[in-house]
């Protein structure tokens, strides 16, 4: 027999519940912080400032590291089983961006990425009361 509460719920409420279930099943905030930090670092590399001279291989790595950080942020959302590896790559990439990408995005991107990497490393998949019940 279907539950009457589920049949009377609007499609918007069902979508909101599905979004909440998806968000709680992965390190959402960690991925968000890593994405914000990586995009901030990438935008400071693109900035027309003469702070860091981009010459040769260092210029290429200045673009590569923020792209890898953004990719790790997306992978934290869509493949949370490998969160430890992605969080370590994020932290190492953030520390490397200090040298290669305008002081890590003028320190803001570096800190956002480090916080996101630490959150991802500390996150563990929890059990909710619904999934813990045998019924």
> In this predicted model, what pLDDT tens digit does every residue of 46-71 receive, in sequence order?
776 665 555 455 678 888 999 999 99
Q: What is the pTM of this model?
A: 0.81
Model pLDDT for residues 2-43, shown as the tens digit of each residue? 555 556 788 888 899 999 898 999 999 999 999 999 999 988
In this prediction, residue 129 carries a pLDDT of 55
**What's the distance, CA 85 to chain centroid?**
13
DSSP conformational letter for 80: G
Mean pLDDT of 124-133: 63
**What's the distance, CA 124 to chain centroid?**
15
Which ranges in 1-135 belong to alpha helices (H)?
A: 4-7, 11-24, 28-46, 56-78, 83-100, 102-106, 108-122, 129-132
In this prediction, residue 115 carries a pLDDT of 97
Model pLDDT for residues 89-122, shown as the tens digit of each residue? 999 999 998 888 877 778 999 999 999 999 999 9
């Amino acid at each position: 027999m279907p539950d009457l509460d589920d049949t009377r719920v609007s499609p918007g409420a069902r979508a909101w519940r599905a979004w909440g279930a998806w968000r709680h099943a992965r390190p959402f905030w960690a991925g968000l912080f890593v994405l914000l930090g990586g995009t901030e670092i990438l935008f400071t590399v693109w900035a027309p400032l003469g702070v860091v001279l981009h010459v040769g291989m260092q210029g290429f790595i200045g673009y590569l590291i923020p792209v890898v950080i953004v990719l790790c942020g997306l992978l934290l959302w869509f493949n949370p089983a490998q969160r430890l590896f992605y969080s370590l790559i994020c932290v190492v990439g953030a520390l490397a961006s200090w040298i290669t990408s305008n002081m890590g995005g003028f320190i803001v991107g570096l800190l956002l990425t480090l916080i996101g990497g630490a959150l991802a490393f500390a996150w563990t998949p929890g059990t909710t009361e619904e999934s813990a019940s045998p019924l």
